[in-house]
Amino acid sequence: MSDYISTTLILLPFVGTALVAAAVLGVLAGVLGPLIVTRNMAFSVHGTSELALTGGAAALLAGINVGYGSLIGAVVAAVILGLLTRKVSEHDSVIGAVLAFGLGVGVLLLSFYEGNSANKFGLLIGQIASVDPGSLVLLVSAAVGVLVVLALIYRPLLFASVDAEVAAARGVPLRILSPVFAVLVGVATALGVQTVGSLLVLSLMITPAAAASRVTASPVVATVLSIVFAELAVLGGIVLSLVPGKPVSAFVTGISFLIYLICRLVGVLRARRIGSGRGMASAHLAPSRS
Amino acid sequence: MTTDALVDAAPVTAPAAALRMRGARLAYGSRVLWDGLDLDIRPGEFLAVLGPNGSGKTSMLRVLLGQQPLSAGEVSIAGSPPGKANAKIGYIPQQRSIDPNLTLRGRDLVGLGLDGHRWGLGLRGRAERRLRVAAALAEVGASDYADHPVGLLSGGEQQRLRVAQALVGDPQLLLCDEPLLSLDLAHQRVVSDLIDARRRAAGTAVLFVTHEINPVLPLVDRVLYLVNGRFRIGTPDEVMTSENLSELYRTPVDVLRVRGQIVVVGAHQESHHCADTTPSPEVRP
């Protein structure tokens, strides 16, 4: 225990920056997550995160900030996916095709890079330890930008996500909202790639929201829970990873998956409760069933 | 107010039509869905749009929603061109299954009908919004399950919520796209009665697209019957005759009245064959 405290104290300056970055990312992932889950975009997030890696690899090779590289990569990916996908039914295949190609390009770019191999690995599993004040400014401003735009489009976006036909009938511009949201997700994904890495970005963007959707049907409560779960996973993951000195990602994904399992269990019990309540109500209405 | 031969004579001081079409034509290439269509729907009027598949019933809804431009003619909804009037329109779609895991309660579904089309978070006026949503839920008798996930509700319960969602914004025109499809008889009755009650109480005009008139026959003021570019407008008694439908379908059709219901014999097999042929636009009522 004293070991733990002393290690924590030594690492405090870096831990402070990392925790702030992680907390910002947690809010972003928590807010976007329920909409991503509702829109069935988990695979799209995965694809975008791999292409953020391609952008990061290109930046690494060019010697510029990897953060900008992955940001550009993810936004370009979001736009390409949006442009190529005309119908929902072809969404998965488009992502699969673009993702595979983009990842191939990323691998090729990394093979040209002759610097520190930890930098390469960092793109895959994250390097939250390396978040410097400059990256923090980029992270916070990008996150604020995403949240402001999201606040502006939140209601029409929710409407379009749960009920596209009626939303369109009421005048919600579906064609504008989809690509705008894809870009927001792209930006958030790129920021996630920086911290937890492209392989594990799903554990922050998807898992907390998927867990929340198991225990509540209210979009607002789901968003709040999703933020709480994402923060628990990312902050808890960082703190737990300090002493063993193992990758942050392993702990982040571990915590978020544990939360997911618990929520599934709670969800089963809840569905049973609602089901039995409704069963009783209809039995009450049914004629002469004593 | 100009009137069709079959339209009831409207009083001079009639309020502005909820829907007005003049010389409306919709064609895809050489395929004319309808042409020369003049139609006024008065506030509170219930108009059923009937016809076989491919006759342009759904396209008419798309035109009114501003999703499909007319090939010719004019249309206005409560005085506005289509596309500018969507906030004055309530829309009830077909019932179809909802993902049981969808994070949405009945209350949220109805709330989206009120302000889901507005930008921003809508943090002001939350209390009034809650009241209006609760009132709409109570109006359709859905208060008891308003907090359940919509995906776990029965089709009939979901469709009641759809009605509340369409009505909560106090629309001037209610567009219904086969809202009774796949509902059992009891729920068909409930849903059509809810629509009827609102148009009588609030003067909401109703345009009700359906392939089956009987569930709503007692409520229908007028029928617009579309077949392969030809159409008839009038009361059910005027339009639903063997002579009229035989002319529309260009084949002998018998219209029978059985226990207050209308049975059309001979039209349905033929309609599918006719749907692909180029109709003759010159035939009009």
Give the domain extent around B25.
19-274
A/B interface, count of CB pairs below 8 Å: 102
From the list A230, A228, A166, the residue with the least C-alpha distance to A196 is: A230
Is residue B3 assigned to a domain?
no
B113 shares contact with chain A (CB less than 8 Å): yes
**B197 touching A (Cβ < 8 Å):** no
> Of chain B residues 47-86, which have a CB less than 8 A from chain A?
65-67, 83, 86
Structural domain includes residue B2:
no
CA distance linking residue B224 with residue A185, whole number of Å: 46
Is A167's CB within 8 Å of B117's CB? yes
Q: How many domains does chain B have?
A: 1
pLDDT at A52 (0 to 100) = 87
Q: Does residue B10 fall inside a structural domain? A: no
Nearest CB to A152 within list B112, B115, B119 = B119
Residue B8 lies in a domain: no
pLDDT in tens, A171-185: 999 888 988 998 999
Task: With a cut of 90, say whether residue B282 has pLDDT above it.
Answer: no
Q: What pLDDT is recorded for position A121? A: 66
Q: Which of A158, A170, A216 sits opposite B91 (nearest CB)?
A: A170
CATH number at residue B188: 3.40.50.300
Tell me, yes or no, whether B279 lies in a domain: no
**Higher local confidence (pLDDT), A81 or A232:** A232
Task: Domains for chain A: give ranges and CATH numbers.
Answer: 2-285 (1.10.3470.10)
Q: Tell me the pTM.
A: 0.86
pLDDT in tens, A18-38: 888 889 999 999 999 999 999
Chain B hits for A159, Cβ within 8 Å: 112, 116-117
Band (pLDDT 50/70/90 cuts) for residue B154 is very high
pLDDT at A205 over 50: yes
Question: Are the Cβ atoms of B105 and A218 closer than 8 angstroms?
Answer: yes
Is B75 contained in some domain? Answer: yes
Q: What is the DSSP string of chain A?
A: -HHHHHHHHHTHHHHHHHHHHHHHHHHHHHHHHHHHHHTT-HHHHHHHHHHHHHHHHHHHHHTS-HHHHHHHHHHHHHHHHHHH--SGGGHHHHHHHHHHHHHHHHHHHHHH--S-HHHHHHHHH--GGG--HHHHHHHHHHHHHHHHHHHHHHHHHHHHHH-HHHHHHTT--HHHHHHHHHHHHHHHHHHHHHHT-GGGTHHHHTHHHHHHHHH---HHHHHHHHHHHHHHHHHHHHHHHHTTT--HHHHHHHHHHHHHHHHHHHHHHHHHHHHHHHHHHHHHHSTT--
B147–A167 CB contact, under 8 Å: no
pLDDT in tens, A148-198: 999 999 999 999 999 899 999 999 998 889 889 989 999 998 888 877 777
Q: Is residue B242 part of a domain?
A: yes
Of B89, B103, B152, the CB nearest to A274: B152
Q: Can you give the pLDDT at residue A145?
A: 96
B71-92: pLDDT as tens digits: 999 999 999 999 898 999 999 9
Question: What percent of chain B clears pLDDT 90, i.e. is strictly above it?
Answer: 72
The confidence band for B273, taking pLDDT boundaries of 50, 70 and 90, is very low
Better-scored residue on pLDDT, A64 or B199: B199
Within a domain: residue B256? Answer: yes
